[in-house]
Chains A and B, each alone.
Chain A
Amino acid sequence: MNVGVIGASGYVGGELLRLLIKHPRVDINLATSRRYAGEFVYRIHPNLRGWTKLKFMAFNPSKATDACDLLFIATPHGVSSTFMPEIIETGIRVIDLSADFRLKDPKAYIKWYGWEHSCPELLEKAVYGLPELHRDEIRRGQLIACPGCMAAAAILALAPIAKRGGIEKNRVIVDFKVGSSGGGAKPSLASHHPEHFGVIRPYKPVGHRHTAEIEQELSILSGEKFSVAMSAHAVNIVRGILATCHLFLTEQISVIDVWRIYRQFYGDEPFIRLVREMKGIYRYPDPKVVVGSNYCDIGFELDMDYSRLVLLSALDNLMKGAAGTAVQDMNIIFGWDEKEGLWDLGLHPI
């Protein structure tokens, strides 16, 4: 199977190339970058050195659709919607890792992204590409919109309890700690080493864009409006996200009840691990443990004094938060084992 990566010079593009090079069932037919056209991909992604002779090329929609059976798109937000109708028309399968097709409501793009969507008719057709929630739709879908990294962490932590209920659905708070690679490959003053090293920077205390997709997905699951108030902090790691979710209970629930709810919801999901250990130093999910893997670790604690359930999830923002989920979606689309090309452990220590 031939695949291509559009927008392959960023961190998500590089992670896609890393996974696809090792994937036993695909060949990478093209990797595009306007800025680096003509250059070997390993000059920008040095971890790929010795594994490929692929060069970046400029993006040409008809060439890309002719050369590939499936396209991954890892361009900045607001770009893929400018050419999507043209490539979708050819019938090719597309997995878009940008935000352009995640939201169902066209008006939400004006509110959260500040631009009017140029092809709102495709929003209905697009499938939100989180396998744990939409596996069957992904299998049938032509246009898959991969979740945002923080959204994936929050949705996976909250989905089982959102579906079951027993909590105040209009009072859910999610606090994120995010590594610097979540900010992309484009440097800025905020990412400059002297400014970023050692920070715990509250970069978006309110109004983060991922709120829209978290609320969209959890409202569908819970069958009513599900409101999430989120705050995001940049912390001094390169990869990883920790989401700490605070929920307030409307009924009594025990530790064993929560275990049962999460075991039942996730069953044999290959990339979900439940973590609530009674001993050791890694008792709850920690991004450090999942870096490089496609796992999302989910844990919890009950605070009986305040009728509060604290849910925690950790994932690698470039893996389960982006490229890993995209490759999992591709495996689902083609009916392959979902773990192919992804069955790796995290590193420890790192």
Chain B
Amino acid sequence: MLFKHEGEESAFLLKCPECDGEIEIPDDVISGEIVSCPDCGMDYEVEVTQEGEIRLKPAEIEGEDWGE
């Protein structure tokens, strides 16, 4: 889903696939850029297709070992 940010000409909003929060995407975004969800902190790599469609794919997050 792609939304125009209210009162904002230079950004779009995408829904976060993890938490349904809103991620702001600058309109000059390029493929490979990393964006982060402000609600859940999930990182996504932006993919801009030849047709100009913007897709998000989860970026690698380093895990932590708490002695499990």
Complex CA–CA separation, A281 to B30 (angstroms):
29
Question: Is residue A279 contacting chain B, with contact meaning CB distance below 8 A?
Answer: yes
Distance from A185 Cβ to chain B, minimum over Cβ atoms (Å): 36
Question: Is residue B40 contacting chain A, with contact meaning CB distance below 8 A?
Answer: yes
Complex CA–CA separation, A334 to B37 (angstroms):
38
Q: Is the CB of A279 within 8 A of B43?
A: yes
Q: Is the CB of B21 within 8 A of A259?
A: yes
Q: Is the CB of B41 within 8 A of A280?
A: yes
Q: A-B contact count, CB below 8 Å?
A: 32
Question: Is residue B20 contacting chain A, with contact meaning CB distance below 8 A?
Answer: yes
Complex CA–CA separation, A47 to B11 (angstroms):
46
* Binary A-proximity of B28-47 (CB < 8 A = 1, otherwise 0): 00000000010111110000
Complex CA–CA separation, A255 to B16 (angstroms):
12
Chain B residues positioned under 8 Å from A259 (CB to CB): 19-21, 39-40
Chain B residues positioned under 8 Å from A280 (CB to CB): 41
- Which positions 50-68 of chain B face chain A at CB distance < 8 Å? 61-62, 64
**Which partner residue on chain A sits nearest B61 by CB separation?**
A279
Chain B residues positioned under 8 Å from A186 (CB to CB): none
Q: How large is the interface on A (under 10, 10 to 19, 20 to 34, 35 or more residues)?
A: 10 to 19
Distance from B6 Cβ to chain A, minimum over Cβ atoms (Å): 15
Q: Is the CB of B20 within 8 A of A278?
A: no
Question: Is residue B18 contacting chain A, with contact meaning CB distance below 8 A?
Answer: yes
Complex CA–CA separation, A156 to B14 (angstroms):
29
Chain A residues positioned under 8 Å from B21 (CB to CB): 259
Complex CA–CA separation, A279 to B62 (angstroms):
8
Complex CA–CA separation, A274 to B37 (angstroms):
13
- What are 14 A-B pairs with beta-carbon distances under 8 A? A255-B18, A255-B19, A256-B19, A256-B20, A259-B19, A259-B20, A276-B40, A278-B42, A278-B43, A279-B42, A279-B43, A280-B41, A281-B64, A283-B41
Given contacts A256-B18, A278-B61, 10 further A-B contacts (CB under 8 A): A255-B18, A256-B20, A259-B19, A259-B20, A277-B40, A278-B37, A278-B43, A279-B41, A279-B43, A279-B62
